[in-house]
């Protein structure tokens, strides 16, 4: 009897080890597949960025060189991009983009945070319709708004001004702001706010003292995403901006070179590098906050 029991235990242990080995192999298989997929995605996304940097450091005479590594390296393209000798005003355009993006982000956060709190924490008639309208606004094609916006701002004398660029961008950024913050606030426990209300706080005080500190990661993430969306906007700005208010996207698209009828590719790539690298560094520095803000509220405790 003891021998039979020991044999059964041995067979059970062998089966358990075999199952553990199978799970181990499956785990490594999934890890390898995930790593390969991540590598392909990274290469696919970073290849244009890498080629932009390589071309930015390349001499004009070797613009179309197909060498994968940097060759004939020079800094003249960056000097040309920042120079105003040829009528390019990249420095002023960067300041315009920073101002437009900052104002757009602040206003979108103020309005979007209030709207997100109402959609997540309050019960009122037509809440689903409001959420649907916000989603529909984000899907509306911007090209269909060019002519009406141009006519409107021309009639009121705003065409070519900062407000003509900021107001449309707020409407484009608000849906992203509202939905990102709503998904976070909806998962936040009600007990914290109710405890503050019991202690004598009004709804506004509870929001300011309790909800806002807890929502800081989501607010920070939304602010970065809203600023990047405003920074990258081109369609509306290309029609409604003037020489004094044009952002970097419009300024780079209108770059002129030293030779007529010749596209200054190396200068454009240098300008693109100048305006892109700071955003990349910003995302890399705050990547933990961005990830925590995007995933906050996604899992219920």
State the DSSP code for 258.
S
**Is there a single domain that holds both residue 111 and residue 83?**
yes
Q: Which two tokens stand for residue 178?
A: 């509202």
37 & 140 share domain:
no
Residues 100 and 192 in one domain: yes
Based on the structure, what is the number of domains in the chain?
Answer: 2
**Rounded CA gap, 113 and 93, in Å?**
29
Q: What's the pLDDT band for 2 if we cut at 50, 70, 90?
A: low
Do 36 and 90 lie in one domain? The reply is no
Same domain, 109 and 253: yes
Type and span of the H or E element at 30: helix 2-56
Q: How far apart are CA 278 and CA 215, in angstroms?
A: 26
Q: What CA–CA distance (Å, rounded) separates 108 from 178? A: 9
Distance CA 140, CA 26 (A): 45
Residue-range definition of the domain harbouring residue 165: 76-295
Residue 62 belongs to a domain: no
> Exposed e or buried b for every residue in 85-109, given b needs 16+ CB within 10 A?
eeebbbebbbebbbebbebbbebbb
In a domain, 66, yes or no: no
- Residue keyed to tokens 């983009």: 97
Would you mind telling me the total number of residues written for the chain in this entry?
A: 301
Same domain assignment for residues 49 and 190:
no
* pLDDT computed for residue 299 by the predictor: 45
Q: How far apart are CA 38 and CA 30, in angstroms?
A: 12
Question: Quick one: average pLDDT of 175-181?
Answer: 87
Tell me what percent of the residues of the chain surpass a pLDDT of 90: 17
Cα distance between residue 9 and residue 13, in whole Å: 6
* Report field, pTM of the whole predicted structure over 0.85: no
pLDDT above 70 covers what percent of the chain? 84
pLDDT at 5 over 70: no
Does residue 48 share a domain with residue 129?
no
**CA–CA gap between residue 40 and residue 162 (Å, rounded):** 40
In a domain, 32, yes or no: yes
Q: Is residue 34 part of a domain?
A: yes
Residues 49 and 168 in one domain: no
Element (H, E) at 118: helix 90-121
3-state SS class at 58: strand
Q: Residue 113 is part of a domain; what is its CATH number? A: 1.10.3720.10
Q: Are 36 and 166 members of one domain? A: no
Do both 10 and 82 map to the same domain? no
**Who contacts 59 (Cβ-Cβ below 8 Å, separation ≥6)?**
72, 73, 74, 76, 266
pLDDT tens figures, 120-173: 877 778 878 888 888 787 787 878 888 888 899 999 989 889 999 999 999 889
Q: What is the pLDDT of residues 198-208, one digit of tens each?
A: 878 777 888 78
Q: Is pLDDT of 106 > 90?
A: yes
pLDDT of residue 95: 93
pLDDT band at 25 (very low <50, low <70, confident <90, very high): low
- Mean pLDDT in residue range 102-128: 87
pLDDT in tens, 194-251: 787 787 877 788 878 888 888 888 888 888 889 989 998 998 899 999 888 999 999 9
In contact, 237 and 165? CB cutoff 8 Å:
yes
Q: What token pair was written down for 274?
A: 């100048």
Residue 253 lies in a domain: yes
CA distance 260 to 5: 92
Decide: helix, strand or coil at residue 256.
coil
pLDDT of residue 109: 92
For the chain, report the end-to-end CA distance as a whole number of angstroms.
Answer: 49
* 61 domain-assigned: no
Q: What is the pLDDT of residue 301?
A: 43
**Token pair 């199952």 in the structure block, residue:** 19
Rounded to whole angstroms, how far apart are CA atoms 119 and 82?
46
For residue 14, tell me if it sits in a domain: yes
Q: Do both 87 and 205 map to the same domain?
A: yes
């Amino acid at each position: 009897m003891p021998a039979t029991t020991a044999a059964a235990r041995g067979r059970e242990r062998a089966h358990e080890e075999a199952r553990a080995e199978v799970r181990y192999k499956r785990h490594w298989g999934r890890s390898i597949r995930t790593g390969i997929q991540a590598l392909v995605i990274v290469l696919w996304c970073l290849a244009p960025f890498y080629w932009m940097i390589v071309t930015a450091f390349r001499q004009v005479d070797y613009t179309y060189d197909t060498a994968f590594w940097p060759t004939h390296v020079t800094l003249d393209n960056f000097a040309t991009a920042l120079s105003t000798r040829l009528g390019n005003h990249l420095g002023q355009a960067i300041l315009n983009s920073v101002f437009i993006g900052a104002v757009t982000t602040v206003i979108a956060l103020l309005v979007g945070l209030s709207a997100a709190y109402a959609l997540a924490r309050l019960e009122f008639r037509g809440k689903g319709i409001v959420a649907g309208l916000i989603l529909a606004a984000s899907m509306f094609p911007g090209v269909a708004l060019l002519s009406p916006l141009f006519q409107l701002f021309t009639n009121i004398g705003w065409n070519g001004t900062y407000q003509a660029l900021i107001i449309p961008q707020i409407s484009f950024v608000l849906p992203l702001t509202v939905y990102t913050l709503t998904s976070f606030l909806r998962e936040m426990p009600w007990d914290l706010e109710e405890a503050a209300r019991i202690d004598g706080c009004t709804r506004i005080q509870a929001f300011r003292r309790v909800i806002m500190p807890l929502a800081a990661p989501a607010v920070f993430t939304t602010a970065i995403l809203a600023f990047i969306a405003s920074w990258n906007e081109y369609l509306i700005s290309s029609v409604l901006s003037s020489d004094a208010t044009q952002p970097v996207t419009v300024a780079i698209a209108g770059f002129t070179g030293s030779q007529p009828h010749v596209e200054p590719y190396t200068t454009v790539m240098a300008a693109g590098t100048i305006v892109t690298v700071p955003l990349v560094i910003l995302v890399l520095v705050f990547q933990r906050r961005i990830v925590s803000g995007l995933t906050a509220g996604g899992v219920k405790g």
